[in-house]
């Protein structure tokens, strides 16, 4: 097997008075009696790429959604830059404008063209004029290799292309940081690479990113830090070479073994919901 050289993404130098891009302190979240996040503390620095990995139901999406208050934490604090998202007086709309969010499902407006999908929030939320919005849209479509598709409707695009458009739509809002929740899990395997390539180039540009992913090779190559969650806890975190390459905790080892050897599943690992497909 040939080894491709690893590229380390650049990271903007931090100054002493820089607030972390995201600061999560003693965060807990319950749905009824089900406590799904338990005393989570995590910082993401400016320009840092943090990949969150872990089994299904471990709380990864909930954690990500607590960052922009799509889920309201039960206790604890969340800061985005200097703004406390958990403060009762925070202007959530204003802070959320600085955050790009990309989900597994692309959520493009089906009745709008690619260009219209990229322009609408710019004109309505950022109050940009039409021609400026189109200029910004084109620049960001080029960035994700979709410049030639601005007049297409989402249904005319492959899943990978739709996800790249969704990323460009987020980028057109000039976010300071991006949150990704399994952006490639809904894609056919041959389309995963093109979306990961876009995310890799964003990392190289110094974008701050928190990424929930099952793509271990990607996390290993692109993340500055990997966080392994299980049962609502952060079990282990550190550089990818440690957490993925040489995990210390038994739960991390067993998760990685299952992810990296998806065919080696014992019958007692089957649940009512089946076994997650990590391939």
Ligand X SMILES: Nc1ncnc2c1ncn2[C@@H]1O[C@H](COP(=O)(O)OP(=O)(O)OP(=O)(O)O)[C@@H](O)[C@H]1O
Q: 184 and 106 in contact (C-beta within 8 Å)?
A: no
Nearest to ligand X of 46, 213 (CB atom): 213
Measured over the CA atoms of residue 115, residue 136, residue 65 and residue 55, the dihedral's sign is: positive
Q: How far is the CB of 218 from Mg ion (least distance, A)?
A: 17
User: Residues touching ligand X: how many (CB under 6 A)?
Assistant: 10
Q: Is 61 in the site for Mg ion (CB under 5 A)?
A: yes
What is the spatial distance between Cα 202 and Cα 195, in angstroms, rounded to a whole number? 11
Minimum CB distance to Mg ion, residue 104 (Å): 8
Token pair in block for residue 241: 């070479």
* Residue with smaller CB distance to ligand X, 205 or 249: 249
Which lies closer to ligand X via its Cβ, residue 61 or residue 116? 61
Minimal CB distance to Mg ion: which residue? 61
Among 23, 58, 116, 184, binds ligand X (CB under 6 A): 58
Closer to ligand X by CB, 106 or 141: give it.
Answer: 106
160 binds, among ligand X, Mg ion, none (CB under 5 to 8 A by kind): none
Among 36, 114, 144, 165, binds ligand X (CB under 6 A): 36
Q: Of these, 44, 50, 51, 60, which contacts ligand X (CB under 6 A)?
A: 60
CB of 33 to Mg ion, least distance (A): 21
Work out whether 61 is an interface residue with ligand X (CB under 6 A). Answer: yes
Which of residues 22, 47, 51, 62 is near ligand X by CB under 6 A?
Answer: 62
118: nearest Cα among 160, 155, 146, 159: 146
In the list ligand X, Mg ion, none, the entry touching 56 (Cβ below 5 to 8 angstroms by class) is: ligand X
Torsion angles phi and psi, residue 27, rounded to 5: -85, 125
Q: Which DSSP state fits 62?
A: H
* 86 sits near Mg ion (criterion: CB under 5 A): no
Residue 57 in contact with ligand X, rule: CB under 6 A: yes
Q: What angle do CA 258, 49, 137 make, to 5 degrees?
A: 115
With binding defined as CB under 6 A, does residue 56 bind ligand X?
Answer: yes
Return the structure tokens found at 6.
Answer: 């690893």
C-alpha count within 13 angstroms, C-beta hemisphere, residue 228 = 25
Stretch near ligand X under the rule CB under 6 A, chosen from 8-16, 51-59, 188-196, 198-206: 51-59
> Rounded to whole angstroms, what are the CA distances from 141 to 63, 176, 202?
29, 18, 13
In order, the DSSP letters of 75-138 are: EEEEEETTEETTSTT--HHHHHTTEEEE-SS----TTS-HHHHHHHHHHHTS---HHHHHHHHH
Contacts with Mg ion, residue ranges (CB under 5 A): 61
Contacts with ligand X, residue ranges (CB under 6 A): 31, 36, 54, 56-62
């Amino acid at each position: 097997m040939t080894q491709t050289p690893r590229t380390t993404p650049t990271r903007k130098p931090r100054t002493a008075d820089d607030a972390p891009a995201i600061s999560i302190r003693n965060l807990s979240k319950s749905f009824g009696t089900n406590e799904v996040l338990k005393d989570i503390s995590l910082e993401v620095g400016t320009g840092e790429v943090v990949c969150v990995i872990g089994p299904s139901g471990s709380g990864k999406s909930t954690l990500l959604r607590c960052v922009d208050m799509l889920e309201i934490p039960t206790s604890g604090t969340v800061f985005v830059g200097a703004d406390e998202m958990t403060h009762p007086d925070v202007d959530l709309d204003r802070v959320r404008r600085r955050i790009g969010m990309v989900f597994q499902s692309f959520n493009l407006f089906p009745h709008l063209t690619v260009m219209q999908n990229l322009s609408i929030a710019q004109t309505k939320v950022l109050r940009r004029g039409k021609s400026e919005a189109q200029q910004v849209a084109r620049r960001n479509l080029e960035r994700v290799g979709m410049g030639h598709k601005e007049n297409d409707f989402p249904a005319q695009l492959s899943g990978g292309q739709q996800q790249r458009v969704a990323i460009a739509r987020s980028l057109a809002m000039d976010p300071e940081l991006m949150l990704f929740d399994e952006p490639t899990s809904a894609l056919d395997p041959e389309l995963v690479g093109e979306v990961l390539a876009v995310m890799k180039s964003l990392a190289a540009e110094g974008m701050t990113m928190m990424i929930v992913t099952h793509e271990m090779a990607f996390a290993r190559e692109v993340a500055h830090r990997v966080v392994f969650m299980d049962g609502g806890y952060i079990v282990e975190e550190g550089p990818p070479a440690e957490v993925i390459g040489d995990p210390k905790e038994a739960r991390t080892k067993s998760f990685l073994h299952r992810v990296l050897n998806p065919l080696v599943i014992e019958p007692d690992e089957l649940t009512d919901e089946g076994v997650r497909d990590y391939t």
